[in-house]
Amino acid sequence: MKIVIVFLLACIVLALFWGLSGLLKAESGSQRLIRSLTLRLGLSIGLFILLLLGVLFGWWRPHQPS
């Protein structure tokens, strides 16, 4: 399960840099920046839901405060 989380985080970072390159090139009428933002938002929400489901189903437990 940790591999899935790391993979999603890597995809979020890649989408961030994809959007940055689209912003720097700024072609007229290009949808690259919007697609990147949509992808990054979807991946972030998916990761958040995966983490919530993991805690709910007991796949991992949060650390107890000492």
pTM score: 0.79
Sequence spans of domains, the chain = 2-57
The identity of residue 13, as a single letter, is V
**Residues 6 or more apart in contact with residue 23 via CB below 8 angstroms:** 33
Which pLDDT value is given to residue 61? 79
Average pLDDT over residues 49-59: 90
List the structure tokens of 50.
Answer: 């995966």
The confidence band for 66, taking pLDDT boundaries of 50, 70 and 90, is low
4-26 pLDDT tens trace: 899 999 999 999 998 888 888 87
Residue that wins the pLDDT comparison between 44 and 62: 44
Q: Report whether pLDDT(65) > 80.
A: no
